A and B are shown apart, each in its own frame.
Chain A
């Protein structure tokens, strides 16, 4: 079958899968941002318990593999009485996994804000919360965006694993097409190109644009 005919016949499956992948990616990125911010800040807290909780979360998720985590959340968590839909399990696990990697980025970015900025905020009698919110986080945000761009690509690639708990994402649909047609080069090749286009021509440019906007906002051009 010529490649164009192949595309025409199965385009709807690829499109459906791509939309699910996009949804998984967006939600997982959101979970990762929240988890990274919370655990990154907790790891710098004064309270020992807070630090311990953050470290346990980070080490468990960074020390095991995403696929093991997905299976565990999907097959084992229901035994504890939490039954989640597979779509939810998918983006939640991917988000939590990469959030643990992001936590280190958050910590590094906050520590990269010069000491003088902390002292100046203290001298102006700002409360710790206000100091974080108005002085430290905006500057940390500029420092974190470049490495976070790489993490976003990793999150996008990570979402491909949700196919293995049968979320009907791009990876899943591609396997179905492959099983129906045995046209492996066409099926997997198409999916590779779609993932590549997303990573290279959507995620990366958007992150670059964000970097520029944020740098301008805090007056560094």
Chain B
């Protein structure tokens, strides 16, 4: 039956908290990759080249409909077969970044398409280049409504980092597995990991919701 050992809890807590730092580092790093790569995916689908649009569209669909776990394995193990050896951290960040870039590109696309056509026409009328139009006119208007969606995927990335444990990234789940295997006790490590996840993701999600309502109010939308 259930016997929660308090002294064991105190013994493993520092190790788990340290690993939580790694988890956040992985989430932050993966997110940074996703934010940039997602923009590339989104913009590549708006060029005049039909072929490029089609290829990127299909790539995004492909990434979105296959499991992240499988993509992590693919990126980590396929490289060495062709002489390219990636560290677990590098492979993990690329896999998570690529996966969420596909999701974020949809968020960006929605944001960009929401900008009224007149803005494009006005920018053309005053002879702005495409790059300047994006940089000064379109992206500043597309970003605020996209921010809420971006925030949700930040929480999503954070919750998907335990998958990196399978290729040996020493984040929370990996550490909990090692503690469990060393001590033959799984109750405390796995439960604490769950609690740490709750303690981080619930307040973050709450903050994002508050931010979203504040933003909507500021932009003069309802509520």
Contact = CB atoms under 8 A, between A and B. Distances in A.
A185 B201 CA distance: 35
Interface string B177-218: 100100000110011011001100110010000000000000
A196 B65 CA distance: 6
Given A80-B2, A81-B1, A153-B64, A68 B190 contact: yes
Contacts of B69: 160-161, 163-164, 171
A164 B163 CA distance: 10
B68 A157 contact: yes
Contacts of A184: 73-74, 77-78, 80-81
A191 to B, nearest CB: 6
Interface residues of B, number: 41
Given A68-B194, A72-B194, A188-B78, A161 B163 contact: yes
A75 B180 contact: yes
A188 B67 contact: no
Contacts of A122: none
Nearest to A197: B65
Contacts of A108: none
Contact of B198 (A63, A158, A174, A182): A63
B186 A75 contact: yes
A64 interface: yes
A67 B176 CA distance: 12
Nearest to A157: B67
Contacts of B205: 62-63
Nearest to B23: A65
Range of interface residues on chain A?
35 or more
Interface in A176-203: 178, 182-185, 188-189, 191-192, 195-196, 199-200
A147 B201 CA distance: 23
B162 interface: yes
A61 to B, nearest CB: 10
Contacts, number: 116
Contacts of A163: 69
Contacts of B161: 65
A66 B201 CA distance: 13
A171 B109 CA distance: 32
B67 A76 contact: no
A189 B74 contact: yes
A215 to B, nearest CB: 23
A69 B77 CA distance: 26
Interface core residue of B62, B165, B180, B191 (most chain A CB under 10 Å)? B62
Contact of B62 (A69, A188, A196): A196
A79 B67 CA distance: 30
B70 interface: yes
Nearest to A191: B70
B166 interface: yes
Interface in B46-72: 61-62, 64-71
B197 A65 contact: yes
Contacts of A191: 70
A75 B179 CA distance: 13
A79 B159 CA distance: 25
Contact of A157 (B66, B193, B197): B66
B173 interface: yes
A23 B175 CA distance: 31
Contacts of A156: 65, 67
B161 to A, nearest CB: 8
Question: Closest 6 CB pairs between A and B?
Answer: A199-B65, A160-B67, A184-B77, A65-B159, A75-B186, A188-B74
6 contacts: A64-B159, A79-B186, A79-B187, A156-B67, A184-B80, A188-B74
Interface of A: 59-60, 62-69, 71-72, 75-76, 79-81, 153, 156-158, 160-161, 163-164, 171, 174-175, 178, 182-185, 188-189, 191-192, 195-196, 199-200
Given A64-B197, A76-B191, A171-B67, 18 more contacts: A63-B198, A64-B159, A64-B198, A64-B201, A65-B159, A68-B162, A71-B177, A71-B186, A76-B187, A79-B187, A160-B67, A160-B69, A164-B166, A171-B69, A178-B73, A185-B78, A192-B71, A195-B66
